[in-house]
Amino acid sequence: MQLNYLDWFIVIFYFVFVLAVGLYYTRRAGKGMEEYFVSGRNLPWWIVGTSMVATTFSSDTPNLVTDIVRKHGVSGNWVWWAFLLTGMVTVFFYAKLWRRSQALTDIGFYEMRYSGKEAAFLRGFRALYLGVVFNVIVMASVTLSAIKISGILLGLNKYATVMVCGLITAIYSCTSGLWGVVVTDVLLFVLAMIGSIAAAWFALGHESVGGLTGLLSHPQLTSKLSLLPDFSRYDEAMAVFIIPFAVQWWSVWYPGAEPGGGGYVAQRMLASKDEKNSLLATLWFNAAHYAIRPWPWIIVALCSLVVFPDISDIQRRFPNFNPSLINDDLAYPAMLTFLPAGFLGLALASLAAAYMSTISTHLNWGASYIIDDFYKRFIKADGDEKHYIFAARVVTFSLMILACLLSFALEHALQAFNILLQIGAGTGLLFMLRWFWWRINAWSEISAMMISFCAALYFAFVHTSMLGYAEMSEWKMLTVGVAITTAGWLIVTFLTPATDREVLQSFYDKIRPMGPGWSRAVDASGETGKENFTASLLCVFLGCFAVYGALFSTGYFLYGNTLLGGLFAVVCLISAYGVMTLLPKVQWRG
């Protein structure tokens, strides 16, 4: 691909702007760890929520959606659409609690909630486990997408891509801290959405597609358009719909969709002005993430099935591209090659924005774990703020290097998605219950983490390769992993000592969680908070109906079915009105 002067101007202007913002916030971010990692806890909901959306809109997300649609059709997206249930539960039950905890990171929660050496071990080990292992896998997947996009659109090899993308992102992230990340995320989200809509528009204009009418009538797409899976095909329905709704949403820890909140979502909630802003930010995030963004990517994915029906067609179109990297996810950047001048630069800038918003968040988030929850807690507790900020910048740069190296070992976006799902299988229920049930202890979390990881290793390397068993489908592996892990941590919970009463009382007094789960262990007298459980639960269901209504309404209007489109639009509006009516009863502390 050849970029003209306008394309290059757009791309260069974007990078200059981002670096300028990073330098602008350098001094403010360097004042202390709270400024560097949680922006002084002074962010309004619309910035916090948009930053969450921008972070989950990564350069590999369109590739992942394209991979899913090409393999399983539009209905295949339920493997991540089902996480909306997790998101809405987080909005109305956990967003307030995270902000109320006033922790610097969600890992710092452990020594607030649990006691003894096991709590300290859990905090330190999980800081490295998530901050390095999980974090690097996610960033490597995102970097892999950048390699594929730059290889297709610019002809760059993987080494040049990681040098350029990694270096610029690392410099920007090191200097600005979370302040620069969240401020630029607002622009990055707008730019990324414009780019994805432009990609869909010109994909529909391709001569082989023939517009929206031609796309929907194309015989290649007959089995791909349904928003619901074919339930007569048992294994497919189980994999993409039944298991995600019955098991996955509450049981699996996945970055950005953690049951009970966590990771960079918790970091944003902790950075909010107050509990109300934390709740509203998370609500906006879930609405935008599931209802606003998916359809431009889906349209491009469907168009790619017309233009490049098979992977071999992509190979013929790009004969000089590394064959080992050519999979269905490559179809998205392949479709971008048909963009006209000017719009190609815009698409590149939008994908760069998506890449940088995700990577910069993960770098800052991972560094917060390693510095606050490991280095400061266990290695050097007497350093000053400048020392820790310097150490955070060194760690940030190091994480970027590790992610770039791992990206060379991955091949496609869905690969990393499935790895992360399996590793986190069975831990989600624990993360939800630990706020409301006193009996959960540090050993519960340690055992859940170890069992789920061992189960993932077993299914990945032992089950088929060493024992010679017939290959098990991914949904069966996930379900078995969830069952083993959940049973394991529950048994460990009852076999190990409870958390010290003094720690439980301190946690309860600070958080004041609703429900009866603490009455047997603490003095629950005094103010119990004004949270209304019934109103919160109704808001969860109505919020899901509102977002799914918007998602389905948009889809059916695009499909030309105005009756169903209008029906789901009414469902969306009524449900949204119900949420707004009940919201005052979902109390928060100022």
Cβ burial, residue 527 (10 Å; 0-12/13-18/19+): exposed
pLDDT, tens digit, 9 for 90 and up, residues 187-216? 888 888 888 899 999 999 999 999 999 999
The reply to whether 278 falls in a domain is yes
pLDDT above 80 (res 589): no
Query: Average pLDDT for residues 4-19, to the nearest whole number?
Result: 81
pLDDT above 80 (res 424): no
Write down the pLDDT at residue 2.
63
Domain range for 578 is 530-590
Write down the pLDDT at residue 6.
82
| Integer Cα distance of 524 and 38 in angstroms | 31
Q: How confident is the model at residue 47 (pLDDT cuts 50, 70, 90)?
A: very high
Last residue within a domain, chosen from 485, 506, 529: 529
pLDDT above 80 (res 89): yes
pLDDT, tens digit, 9 for 90 and up, residues 215-239? 999 988 988 999 999 888 888 889 8
Indicate if 166 and 226 belong to the same structural domain.
yes
Domain of residue 100, CATH code: 1.20.1730.10
Indicate if 285 and 391 belong to the same structural domain.
yes
Q: Name, of 22-31, 56-65, 227-236, 412-421, the range with top average pLDDT.
A: 227-236
Lowest mean pLDDT among 363-377, 468-482, 511-525: 468-482
Indicate if 450 and 582 belong to the same structural domain.
no
Q: Helix 343-368 crosses helix 5-24 at what angle (to 10 degrees)?
A: 20
Between 89 and 193, where is the model more confident? 89
pLDDT above 80 (res 527): no
- Dihedral over Cα of 207, 208, 214, 215: its sign: negative
Write down the pLDDT at residue 444.
96
Number of domains in the chain: 2
Indicate if 205 and 263 belong to the same structural domain.
yes
Between 262 and 29, where is the model more confident? 262
Write down the pLDDT at residue 504.
95
Indicate if 253 and 397 belong to the same structural domain.
yes
Last residue within a domain, chosen from 529, 561, 577: 529
Q: Name, of 23-37, 52-66, 95-109, the range with top average pLDDT.
A: 95-109
Query: Average pLDDT for residues 132-156, to the nearest whole number?
Result: 81
Between 418 and 48, where is the model more confident? 48
Write down the pLDDT at residue 395.
93
Between 50 and 234, where is the model more confident? 50
Main-chain dihedrals φ then ψ at residue 432, nearest 5 degrees: -80, -40
What Cα–Cα distance (Å) separates residue 356 from each residue in 148, 185, 363, 552? 16, 9, 10, 30
| Integer Cα distance of 59 and 145 in angstroms | 6
Query: Average pLDDT for residues 437-460, to the nearest whole number?
Result: 88
Mean pLDDT, the chain, whole residue set: 87
Query: Average pLDDT for residues 240-246, to the nearest whole number?
Result: 90
pLDDT above 70 (res 143): yes
Last residue within a domain, chosen from 497, 529, 561: 529
Query: Average pLDDT for residues 244-256, to the nearest whole number?
Result: 85
Locate all alpha helices (DSSP H) within 424-528, ordered by sequence.
428-433, 442-457, 474-495, 501-511
- In DSSP terms, which residues pair with 330 in a beta bridge? none
| Integer Cα distance of 378 and 106 in angstroms | 17
Indicate if 556 and 477 belong to the same structural domain.
no
Lowest mean pLDDT among 2-16, 295-309, 408-422, 471-485: 408-422
pLDDT above 60 (res 528): no
The reply to whether 73 falls in a domain is no
**Whole-model pTM?**
0.89
pLDDT above 90 (res 55): no
Indicate if 575 and 523 belong to the same structural domain.
no
